[in-house]
């Protein structure tokens, strides 16, 4: 028996070698297969061997082809991979779920103005800060500061990791809502009362179940190593999300509540803009950081794989543009539907996007089909963002406790699931976690990173930025913004956020 197996394996290896040495067509492959001695066992073995050869050869060809493609176009592949990964992380529930709901809660247009201003004058510079640290150190946020010989700034990485735990815990709960809406698209729709349907989705035992499913998917992506697939999915996901949102926004513009909605969303009251601006500052800054995945070190990790000749400013500009565009579009979809359904924007709360869209899909021909596609894309967007948060938390844990990647993923998956349970039972915890992690921790993380680059590492950082053929005036302008403008804005924002959070905790729990 052993002898037979050995002979079979040897024959197979020889033939395989012959095939590998001289590339052939599939007909050649089967011709060689036929040279196996038929008298020995039977035709079945011969045929199966043939099949196995073909798969082997195809596999070898595919791997070889991939290698050649990667070698020849390495820069292109890296650049695309980078843009996809970074956009995949940035575009997520933050744009489509969190932005419209926060805008609704914070009074509409004034919030939009402050948010846009912050994205441009704080978000973009801080994104560049993370890119410069990542590309310079070629390490994750924890190893980066050792590599740059400033280990004490590692604290910024730790702040980011804590934020990651908290954010992912409720992000996964909302991801679970998306899965429930996706399933509902195929099993009887979203009920007749969109608000009641949302309430039944948003908390309770089923919510916990789907929170677990989402978290298992995220941890599974790490365990199975299908990360590349997920990043490639961004090529389909981002354009699909844009097309669907544009379509829904156009449909929304024909509704009766559209005029009132645009008034609310797009025309700030000039007389109160300044006072409104101060009150919405913490929320708008938190949103700017959250949506661009800043303050946690995600962008440090992604840019650590980046080639030296990339123009960082151009790449970050592209990411900011796509991300902000999708958020603005989401608002253009949500508000017309909410106003038409008679739901005041603040009242929609965390359910705004679900309530407004479910109502809309209910009224459309083939609505559940469009809804199914929409929620599927939203799920992909949520997964690629959640994955990037999980990466930070996992690498932090591996570095700190020296455990294996798989073990860290399983352990952290369970811990984050447990931290998220209160949110899945009571929506009050969503605000409690969310305000703390975004308006305080992410801003603190961004502040530390900016202080480091602006005051400790300025000349190296400017040099790093210049590497990608960035225009020469960009470096000095950027470094001055990071040194003199970003820190005071973030310190004021942080102060306001802490006071606001204290009040929020007092009024909610005491
Ligand atoms: N940017 C992601 C979104 O908009 C969320 C996120 C926050 C991802 C922080 C990474 C870090 O959904």
- At 381-411, the pLDDT tens digits run 999 899 999 988 888 888 888 888 888 899 9
User: Which residue puts its alpha carbon closest to atom 11 of ligand 1?
Assistant: 293
Q: What are the tens digits of pLDDT across the range 323-347?
A: 999 999 999 999 999 899 888 888 8
**8 Å CB contact between 499 and 463:** no
User: Which residue puts its alpha carbon closest to atom 6 of ligand 1?
Assistant: 293
Identify which has the larger pLDDT, 70 or 353: 353
Q: Helix, strand, or coil here: 40?
A: coil
Q: Is 388 in the pocket of ligand 1 (CB under 6 A)?
A: yes
Task: Quote the pLDDT of residue 2.
Answer: 40
Question: Tokens at residue 454, please?
Answer: 């602006």
Q: How far is the CA of 87 from the centre of ligand 1 (A)?
A: 10
Q: What are the tens digits of pLDDT across the range 270-303?
A: 888 888 888 899 999 999 999 999 999 999 988 8
Q: How far is the CA of 355 from the centre of ligand 1 (A)?
A: 22
* Dist CA 384 CA 369 (whole Å): 23
Choose the residue to mutate in 169, 293, 299, 324 for probing ligand 1, maximizing ligand atoms within 8 Å of C-beta: 293
Q: What are the tens digits of pLDDT across the range 116-175?
A: 999 999 999 999 999 999 989 988 888 889 889 999 999 998 999 999 999 999 999 999
Q: Is 289 in the pocket of ligand 1 (CB under 6 A)?
A: no
- The vertex-330 CA angle with 328 and 331, nearest 5°, equals 65
Task: Quote the pLDDT of residue 394.
Answer: 87
**8 Å CB contact between 309 and 75:** yes
**8 Å CB contact between 437 and 392:** no
Identify which has the larger pLDDT, 471 or 47: 471
* Arithmetic mean of pLDDT over the chain: 83
Neighbours of 85 (CB within 10 A): 25
* Dist CA 154 CA 408 (whole Å): 20
Percentage of the chain modeled with pLDDT above 90: 53
Mean pLDDT value across residues 413-428:
96
* Dist CA 245 CA 96 (whole Å): 9
Mean pLDDT value across residues 73-91:
71
Q: Is 324 in the pocket of ligand 1 (CB under 6 A)?
A: no
3-state helix, strand, coil in the chain (%, to 5): 85, 0, 15
**8 Å CB contact between 372 and 186:** yes
Q: Which of 18-22, 188-192, 238-242 has the lowest mean pLDDT?
A: 18-22
Q: What are the tens digits of pLDDT across the range 310-329?
A: 888 989 999 999 999 999 99
* Dist CA 48 CA 51 (whole Å): 5
CB-based contacts of 455, cutoff 8 Å, min separation 6: 483
Choose the residue to mutate in 87, 88, 90 for probing ligand 1, maximizing ligand atoms within 8 Å of C-beta: 90
Q: Is 87 in the pocket of ligand 1 (CB under 6 A)?
A: no
Task: Quote the pLDDT of residue 469.
Answer: 65
Mean pLDDT value across residues 429-448:
96
Q: How far is the CA of 387 from the centre of ligand 1 (A)?
A: 10
Task: Quote the pLDDT of residue 60.
Answer: 41
* Dist CA 156 CA 304 (whole Å): 17
User: Which residue puts its alpha carbon closest to atom 4 of ligand 1?
Assistant: 94
Q: Quote the DSSP letter at residue 36.
A: S
* Dist CA 56 CA 375 (whole Å): 38
- pTM score, whole prediction: 0.83
Q: Is 293 in the pocket of ligand 1 (CB under 6 A)?
A: yes
* Dist CA 209 CA 168 (whole Å): 16
CB-based contacts of 311, cutoff 8 Å, min separation 6: 468, 469, 470
Identify which has the larger pLDDT, 50 or 419: 419
**Cα 391 from chain centroid?**
11
Distances (CA, A) of 476 to 130, 312, 460: 17, 15, 12
Task: Identify the band that residue 7 occupies on the pLDDT scale cut at 50, 70 and 90.
Answer: very low
Atom of ligand 1 nearest to the CA of 90: 1
Atom of ligand 1 nearest to the CA of 290: 7
Q: Does residue 379 have a pLDDT over 90?
A: yes
Q: How far is the CA of 317 from the centre of ligand 1 (A)?
A: 17
Handedness of CA 169, 170, 176, 178 (dihedral sign): negative
Task: Identify the band that residue 77 occupies on the pLDDT scale cut at 50, 70 and 90.
Answer: low
Mean pLDDT value across residues 44-64:
42
Q: Quote the DSSP letter at residue 395.
A: H
Q: Is 352 in the pocket of ligand 1 (CB under 6 A)?
A: no
Task: Quote the pLDDT of residue 226.
Answer: 59
Q: Is 102 in the pocket of ligand 1 (CB under 6 A)?
A: no
Long-range contacts: 354-357, Cβ < 8 Å, 24+? Answer: 354/97, 354/177, 354/181, 354/194, 354/198, 354/201, 355/194, 355/195, 355/198, 356/194, 357/248, 357/333
* Dist CA 55 CA 57 (whole Å): 5
9-23, 152-166, 398-412, 436-450: which is most confident: 436-450
Type and span of the H or E element at 117: helix 109-118
Choose the residue to mutate in 88, 91, 92 for probing ligand 1, maximizing ligand atoms within 8 Å of C-beta: 92
Q: Residues of 90-107 as b/e, b for ≥16 C-beta within 10 angstroms?
A: bbbbbbbbbbbbbbbbbb
């Amino acid at each position: 028996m052993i002898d037979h197996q050995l002979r079979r394996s040897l024959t197979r290896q020889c033939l395989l070698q012959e095939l590998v040495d001289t590339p052939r067509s599939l007909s050649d492959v089967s011709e060689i297969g036929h040279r196996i001695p038929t008298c020995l066992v039977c035709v079945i073995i011969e045929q199966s061997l043939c099949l196995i050869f073909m798969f082997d050869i195809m596999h070898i060809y595919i791997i070889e082809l991939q290698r050649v493609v990667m070698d020849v176009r390495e820069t292109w592949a890296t650049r695309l991979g980078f843009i996809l990964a970074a956009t995949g992380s940035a575009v997520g529930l933050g744009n489509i779920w969190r932005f419209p709901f926060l805008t609704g809660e914070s009074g509409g247009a004034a919030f939009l103005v402050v948010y846009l201003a912050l994205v441009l004058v704080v978000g973009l510079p801080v994104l560049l800060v993370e890119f410069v640290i990542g590309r310079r150190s070629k390490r994750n946020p924890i190893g980066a500061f050792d590599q740059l010989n400033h280990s004490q700034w590692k604290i910024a990485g730790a702040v980011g990791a804590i934020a990651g735990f908290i954010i992912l815990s409720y992000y996964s709960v909302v991801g679970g809502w998306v899965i429930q809406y996706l399933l509902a698209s195929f099993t009887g729709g979203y009920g007749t009362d969109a608000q009641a349907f949302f309430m039944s989705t948003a908390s309770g035992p089923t919510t916990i179940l789907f929170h677990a499913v989402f978290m298992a998917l995220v941890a599974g992506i790490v365990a199975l190593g299908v990360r590349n697939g997920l990043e490639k999915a961004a090529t389909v996901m981002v354009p699909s999300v844009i097309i669907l949102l544009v379509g829904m926004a156009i449909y929304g513009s024909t509704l009766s509540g559209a005029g009132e909605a645009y008034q609310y969303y797009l025309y700030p009251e000039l007389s109160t803009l300044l006072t409104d601006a101060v009150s919405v500052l913490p929320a708008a800054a938190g949103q700017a950081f959250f949506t661009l995945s800043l303050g946690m070190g995600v962008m440090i990790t992604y840019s650590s794989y980046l080639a030296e000749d990339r123009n960082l400013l151009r790449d970050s500009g592209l990411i900011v543009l796509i991300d902000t565009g999708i958020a603005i579009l989401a608002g253009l979809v949500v508000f017309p539907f909410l106003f038409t359904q008679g739901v005041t924007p603040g009242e929609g709360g965390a359910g705004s996007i679900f309530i407004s869209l479910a109502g809309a899909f209910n009224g459309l021909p083939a609505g559940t089909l469009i809804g199914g596609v929409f929620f599927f894309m939203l799920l992909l967007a949520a997964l690629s963002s959640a994955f990037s948060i999980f990466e930070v938390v996992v690498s932090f844990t591996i570095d700190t406790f020296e455990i294996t990647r798989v073990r860290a993923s399983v352990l952290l998956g369970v811990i984050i699931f447990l931290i998220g349970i209160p949110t899945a039972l009571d929506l009050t915890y969503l605000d409690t976690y969310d305000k703390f992690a975004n308006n305080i921790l992410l801003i603190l993380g961004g502040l530390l990173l900016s202080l480091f680059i602006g005051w400790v590492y300025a000349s190296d950082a400017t040099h790093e930025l210049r590497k990608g053929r960035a225009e020469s005036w960009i470096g000095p302008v950027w470094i001055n913004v990071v040194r003199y403008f970003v820190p005071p804005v973030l310190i004021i924002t942080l102060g306001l956020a802490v006071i606001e959070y204290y009040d929020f905790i007092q009024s909610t729990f005491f």
